[in-house]
Amino acid sequence: MVDAAAAIARFEAELGGIRRQSDPYEHALAAHRLGLAYAETVLGKPEDQLRRALACFDVAASLLDPRFHPVEHSRVLTAAGSVRRSLGDPAKALELFCAAADIASGRVSTDESAAMANNIGLALLERGDVAASIERFDQAVERFDATSAEGRRGRASALHNRGLARATSGHLDDLVAAFADHDGALAAVGFDEAALHHGLVQHSRGVVASTLSTTSPDPAAAATWRLLALDAFTAALDVFVWPEHAVRHGMVSFNLGRMWAAGHSIDDLRQAMVNFEDAVTAFDPREQNAPWRRSFDSLTATEGRLAVSHPGWHRTDHLVALLHGDPEGALRLMRRRLTRWLVLPGPARQSAVIDLVGASARWAEPHGAGEAALALLLTTVMELPVEAQSTVLDALLAARNAGGVDEREALDRLVDRAIGDALNGPQRVFVRDHLVAGGYERP
């Protein structure tokens, strides 16, 4: 935030240092740069910043005569159109995008021309003109130069947008074509070149596949589409991690939960439960009340379904069982849980780990689910800084010291086995020394 404020201050100073009357061209370019900075910043209220950006673009457009500076003028109009879209005015955005494309025609690179077609397509789609938007996305896909990194990113974006447009009809053939476009968008650009793009496209793939899983007349095909949706949402979740992408993380977690909840096994319901819980955590009920409420209602409904066959089980009991029953996804799930627990206030953080330790102790026998959960906890926390390691080990000690003699002895044996399973020599020494200092007695 400090860097963004400093950049805006620098651009404001730059604009103030260029006289509009004596150097209108440079003043216009400076106003354009400042407008872009306002539009892209996360400081203050978004709508206020976008309004400031529009004011800058108005100044720049008034000073750049399209007869003499057509390219610069068209770029200012494009920037203003993007802001109008963000402000919820696709009609004005479409007008600006079309004007920019007309002025720039034959004067800009094929990539820039393709980007203009892509922008027009987006505005048309938002206005409900799906057929016209697909025509523009077709143009963009054809024009982008796939030999350059910028062209590959642009082509991937146009393919993604065309898929979104095709999916709006809800018809089976259009949905299948949309899924193919999303596959093409993934293949068009490498993950290392555009990680966030991959996350967005995977989420869109998941949405299309989830719709096909409920509309396909063939049960076998519907089951396949559900598996594809699960894979796509899981891949998107690896990109939109919490808390860096909290809202998107909540959206993907909710949709992933819905797909798991469509299954019938107990582990399917457990997967749904943990993803709905993640969504509840990610959404701020003050800012995103509707999605938060939807996620919370889904969470409680899923817990109700689990309670039919497992009365008296807590969420953490189901978590321990799920960690044991899904070895492939267990590490990802434990990392997600620790990410949430370690940022909680001290008492809540300790309580979360104590709950896991208690559930592990309850389910130590007969299948070793508790031992596996504790071993995974130790393995995962050893990837983190020493402060996090100490926090988890202190919580483990608190859980141990809260029980009676028999409970402590049983937990000591369980912890000793988990340490042996999870850790190598130096790690074992560190963990055991920390625990012994807190009262742990090795069996």
The reply to whether omega before 90 is within 30° of 0 (cis) is: no
Residue 414: predicted pLDDT: 84
Cβ neighbours of residue 117 under 8 Å, at least 6 residues apart? Answer: 101, 136, 137, 139, 140, 143, 158
| Contact (Cβ atoms closer than 8 angstroms) between residue 354 and residue 402 | yes
Q: Indicate the domain borders of the chain.
A: 315-443
The angle formed by the CA atoms of residues 201, 182 and 236, to the nearest 5 degrees, is: 25
Residue 1: predicted pLDDT: 42
Give the dihedral sign, CA 95/98/101/105.
negative
Residue 366: predicted pLDDT: 60
Residue 367: predicted pLDDT: 64
Residue bearing tokens 């920390």: 434
Q: Could you count the other beta carbons within 10 Å of the beta carbon of residue 397?
A: 21
Query: What residue ranges of the chain have pLDDT lower than 70?
Result: 1-2, 42, 365-367
Q: How far is the C-alpha of 72 from the C-alpha of 108, rounded, in Å?
A: 10
What is the per-residue burial (b if ≥16 Cβ within 10 Å, else e) of 113-137?
bbbbbbbbbbbbbbeebbebbbbbb
Q: How far is the C-alpha of 76 from the C-alpha of 28, rounded, in Å?
A: 9
